[in-house]
Amino acid sequence: MDTVEVEFTASGYVRLRADVARQFFPTDALVAMLKGAELWLMPLIGPEGGGLLLKQRNLEGDRSALIWESLPDRPPVGLRQAVWDAGRGALRVDVSPDA
Asked if the model's pLDDT at residue 7 lies above 90, the reply is yes
Confidence bin at 1 (pLDDT 50/70/90): low
Question: How is the chain split into domains, by residue range?
Answer: 3-94
**pLDDT tens digits, residue range 60-90?**
999 999 999 999 888 999 999 999 999 999 9
CA triplet 5, 63, 55: central angle to 5 degrees? 155
Decide: helix, strand or coil at residue 92.
strand
Residue 47 has pLDDT above 90, yes or no: no
Max distance between CA atoms of the chain, in angstroms, equals 37
Q: What is the share, in percent, of the chain residues with pLDDT greater than 90?
A: 84
